Structure 1
Amino acid sequence: MAGQQPQPRNVVVTGGGTGIGLAAARGFAEAGDRVVIVGRRREILEAAAESLGPAVRPMVCDLADPEAVDRLVARLPERIDVLVNNAGSRETASGVGTRAVLARWRGDFERNVLTAVLLTEAVRDRLPSGTGRVITVSSVAALRGAGSYGAAKAALHAWNHTLAAQLGPSGVTANVVAPGTIAGTEFFGGRWNDAESNRRASRTLVGRVGAPEDVAAAIRFLASPEAGYVTGEILHCNGGELLGR
């Protein structure tokens, strides 16, 4: 009927308690969707859900643990219209020698790759044909290079190509958003200050660093009905810090 409001979608956002994930969850909730935010830290998730309103539910899960993912999936909606794989962080283990190298590489792979792959595989049968959307958040580090972290993010790009090919025949799309420097996240920890912000802003074409809402807008576009003919792509969201390739 003319003027009829669209039905709310079921949206799952991992890493939804802070930063980009929180901004994405807010945008979906404000559009009238039902949102589940997933993460490892209960207090942060619950505080985020309370701030976003009754349409948002928090669910605690270590997404690199297959058994934990299975338990999570049992609690998720039977239909998942949009999956946003945003969970990820940089492994902070330091030291030298092969054991330290192993800890860094394994940590970055588990935190950034397995957290996306395991959940996506577990829910792919719940993505509705013709309208389902998978959006995975990567990083400019995948192209610029940043050791084990950049390698893990680059692995998401390769995986998404395969995922898009697998889901394409059912009309489900799979795309990546690759942010540049984004303020207002936990990525930089105590290393972020005005000097660092200004330095990074000078590397962009628009003269500023990004905000979580900039990336959330890109995520919402790829999740929209209008993006139904876009799949297998990497959408760069970096203000011209690094041009797409």
Structure 2
Amino acid sequence: MRSVVVTGGATGIGYAVAAAFAAAGDQVVITGRREGPLKEAAQRIGATAVAFDAADPAAVAGALPALPAHVDVLVNNAGGNTSFDRPDPADGDLEALAANWRANLDANLLSAVLVTAALTPRLTDHARIVTIGSIAARQGAGSYGAAKAAVEAWTASIASELGPRGITANVVAPGLILATEFFRDRLTEDGIGQRVAATRNRRAGAPDDVAAAVLFLAAPTAGHVTGQVIHVNGGAYLGR
């Protein structure tokens, strides 16, 4: 039985990942900022809920006593495109532009960096780190795409740093995944159609598609796969 921590585990991809580990018999801790949904999700799958903001250094440090003393698998899923929640900055408003970029970097990059750094002393030898990236790292999407591209570069660094302990670090990069909160109800049928048309298998992804890739990378048999970006987007990252 492994000890698994999944950040952003209350809904969507994070929930599917956590549920898959729990179904496999692992001890799962899910984290997130919204205590209510987090506790409800944990109860449904038999996990433990620890509420905190993964992008806040003080909050991460404060949560450590509630997190496992030994961690076999860490899944950095917390994040999302914060630009959906913020107005576009006016032309020339550099303060607003900087704030928008920092928000996405905090949510998607810093959250993974902080949680991983805080838990590194607790990672067992041959532990697995999987961070959820995005097709946007290759195709671009403003500050969100840049943050996910930075996740890939950072993952390469920690794969090198922690590799001597047998610890692997990889990225799973989804494309369009339905049944999540990512698009904040802004995705139209036309938008779905365009994204599906860009895939090779002509379908949208589901959270379980991503969970399956995460479980593969977390398996004991995947010890020679590290520093990689595994695309779970139907080949859409290849372009049309």
Task: Sort the TM-score into its range (normalised by shorter chain).
Answer: over 0.9
Give distance in 1, aligned partners of 2:226 and 2:157.
11
Q: Which runs of 4+ in 1 moved over 3 A?
A: none
Which one of 73, 92, 99 corresponds to residue 95 of structure 2? 99
Q: Deviation digits for residues 132-183 of structure 1, max 9, x if unmatched?
A: 0000000000000111100000000110111000000111101110111111
Aligned to 1:48: 41
Aligned to 2:8: 15
Please state how far the C-alpha of 1:195 moved relative to its aligned partner: 3.0
Q: Deviation digits for residues 24-64 of structure 1, max 9, x if unmatched?
A: 000000000000000000111011111112xx011100111
Please state how far the C-alpha of 1:76 moved relative to its aligned partner: 1.1
Give distance in 2, aligned partners of 1:177 and 1:136.
6
Give distance in 2, aligned partners of 1:68 and 1:98.
29
- Figure out how many residues of one structure are paired with residues of the other and give that number: 234
CA-atom RMSD in angstroms: 1.1
Give distance in 2, aligned partners of 1:146 and 1:243.
16
Give distance in 1, aligned partners of 2:19 and 2:60.
23
Which one of 140, 148, 162 corresponds to residue 167 of structure 1? 162
Aligned to 2:77: 86
Is the 2:152–2:229 Cα contact (8 Å) retained in structure 1? Answer: yes
Give distance in 2, aligned partners of 1:231 and 1:103.
33
SS at match of 1:182: coil
Is the 2:50–2:67 Cα contact (8 Å) retained in structure 1? Answer: no
Is the 1:93–1:103 Cα contact (8 Å) retained in structure 2? Answer: no
Please state how far the C-alpha of 1:72 moved relative to its aligned partner: 1.2
Give distance in 1, aligned partners of 2:24 and 2:189.
34
Aligned 1:224-243 pairs, distance under 5 A: 224-243=219-238
Give distance in 1, aligned partners of 2:174 and 2:63.
27
Is the 1:9–1:82 Cα contact (8 Å) retained in structure 2? Answer: yes
Q: What one-letter code is carried by the residue in structure 2 that aligns with 1:20?
A: I
| Structure 2: tracts of 5 or more residues without a match | none
Which one of 99, 115, 118 corresponds to residue 114 of structure 2? 118
Which one of 65, 70, 73 corresponds to residue 74 of structure 1? 65
Please state how far the C-alpha of 1:199 moved relative to its aligned partner: 2.2
Give distance in 2, aligned partners of 1:155 and 1:58.
28
Give distance in 2, aligned partners of 1:195 and 1:49.
35
Give distance in 2, aligned partners of 1:93 and 1:195.
23
Q: What one-letter code is carried by the residue in structure 1 that aligns with 2:8?
A: G
Aligned to 1:212: 207
Aligned to 2:190: 195
Is the 2:133–2:171 Cα contact (8 Å) retained in structure 1? Answer: yes
Identity %: 51
Please state how far the C-alpha of 1:243 moved relative to its aligned partner: 2.7
Aligned to 1:62: 53
